[in-house]
Amino acid sequence: KNEVEQSPQNLTAQEGEFITINCSYSVGISALHWLQQHPGGGIVSLFMLSSGKKKHGRLIATINIQEKHSSLHITASHPRDSAVYICAVMYSGGGADGLTFGKGTHLIIQP
Amino acid sequence: EAGVTQSPTHLIKTRGQQVTLRCSPISGHTSVYWYQQALGLGLQFLLWYDEGEERNRGNFPPRFSGRQFPNYSSELNVNALELEDSALYLCASSLVRWSGVSTDTQYFGPGTRLTVL
C-alpha cells in the first residue's frame, strides 16, 4: 500500500523558532509536493521537488530519494506561519495518478 | 493572471440529491484534478482530466463523475448524495503534456464546501 507519513501531527512553537516537519513515503515517486492549508481551506503549493533542495524566503524543502524522506523547514517562524502543512507525492510507475496526501501537520506559532 | 476558480463557494444539499461543482483552471493549463477533503479523512484524489479525457480516478464510487470541456474547465457531478459526501472539494490545475506521469506543480482553487443534510 502506498502511504505518506508525516510527523509530527501537531506542533506548537514560539515565534522565532526553527521548525522542521518530516514526510516519508513507501515507494518510488516522480515528485513530492509541500502544501500549506490555512483555516477556511485554501491550499497553496509551496514546493514541488524531485531531488535536492529548494528555498523560498524562510522556507526550505529537502528530499532524499534513497531514503524516501523529505523535510520542510521554516526559519525564524512567525505566527502567520500557523497552518496545516501537507506532504503529497506523485507515485511513479506505469499509470498516472493524482497526488497521495499525508494527513498533515498542524503548526501553531505563538507570539 | 487569474488562479484556479471554483463555484459555488458553499452548497447545502439533502440526501439523494445531485450536485454539480465547477472548476476553471489557470489559463494554459490542460490538466484538472479533483480532490475531496472530508472531515477527519484528509485529502483524497478523486479524478484527473487532461485534454478532455478522464486519465485516472481514485477509489470513489461511480456516482462521482465529471467531465472536462474544450476550454479545459471541468465539472464534478455527484449523484445520490450521502451524508458522508459532506466535504471540501478542491480542484487543482497543472500544465501537463500527456506522457503518463505528471510532474508539474498543481495549483489549487479555493474549494467548494458541500454540506449534505
For the segment A15-26, what is each residue's pLDDT rounded down to a tens digit? 999 999 999 998
* pLDDT for position A95: 45
Nearest-by-Cβ selection for A97 from B45, B88, B111: B45
Identify which has the larger pLDDT, A42 or A76. Answer: A76
What is the residue whose three cell numbers read 515528485? A31
Q: Which residues contact B62 (CB under 8 A, 6 or more apart)?
A: none
B101 has pLDDT over 80 = no
Of B44, B55, B110, the CB nearest to A41: B110
Identify the pLDDT of residue B45: 86
The percent of residues in chain A predicted with pLDDT above 90, rounded, is 62
Pick the more confident residue, B98 or B88.
B88
Q: For residue range B2-40, what is the model confidence (pLDDT) as tens digits?
A: 799 999 999 999 999 999 999 999 998 888 999 998 887
Q: Which residues of A touch B100 (CB under 8 A)?
A: 94-96
Distance separating alpha carbons of residues A86 and A72, to the nearest angstrom: 10
**In chain B, what percentage of residues exceed pLDDT 70?**
91
Verify cis geometry, omega within 30 degrees of 0, for the bond prior to A8: yes
> Positive or negative CA dihedral for B98, B103, B107, B111?
positive
For residue B4, the distance in angstroms to the closest alpha carbon of chain A comes to 11
By C-alpha distance, the chain A residue nearest B98 is A96
pLDDT at B103 exceeding the cut of 70: no
B83 within 8 A of B75, measured Cβ to Cβ: no
The owner of cell 447545502 is B12
Best of B45, B101, B112, B115 to substitute, by most chain A Cβ atoms within 10 angstroms, is B101
pLDDT for A79-105, tens place per residue?
A: 999 999 999 988 765 444 567 889 999
The dihedral sign for the CA sequence B111, B7, B81, B93:
negative
Interface residues from chain A to B (CB-CB < 8 Å): 30-31, 33, 35, 41-45, 48, 50, 86, 88, 90, 92, 94-104
Closest-CA residue to A73 (of A43, A47, A42): A47
CA B90/CA B102 separation, integer angstroms = 18
Instruction: Give residue B6's pLDDT.
Output: 96
CA A94 to chain B, closest CA, distance in angstroms equals 7
Q: Which residues of B touch A35 (CB under 8 A)?
A: 108
Instruction: Choose the closest CB to A30 out of B45, B88, B101.
Output: B101
How many Å is the Cα radius of gyration of chain B? 13
Could you tell me the pLDDT band of residue A49, with boundaries at 50, 70 and 90? Answer: confident
- Across the interface, of B37, B48, B111, the residue whose CB is closest to A98 is B48
Mean of pLDDT over chain A: 88
The three three-digit cell numbers of residue B45, written as one number: 484524489
pLDDT given at position A97: 56
User: B104 and A48 in contact by Cβ < 8 A?
Assistant: yes
- B60–A contact, CB cutoff 8 A: no
Is it the case that residue A62 has pLDDT exceeding 90? yes
Higher pLDDT, B112 or B44: B112
With contacts defined as CB-CB under 8 Å, which chain B residues touch A50?
103
Q: B55 pLDDT exceeds 70?
A: yes
What's the whole-number mean pLDDT along residues B60-81? 96
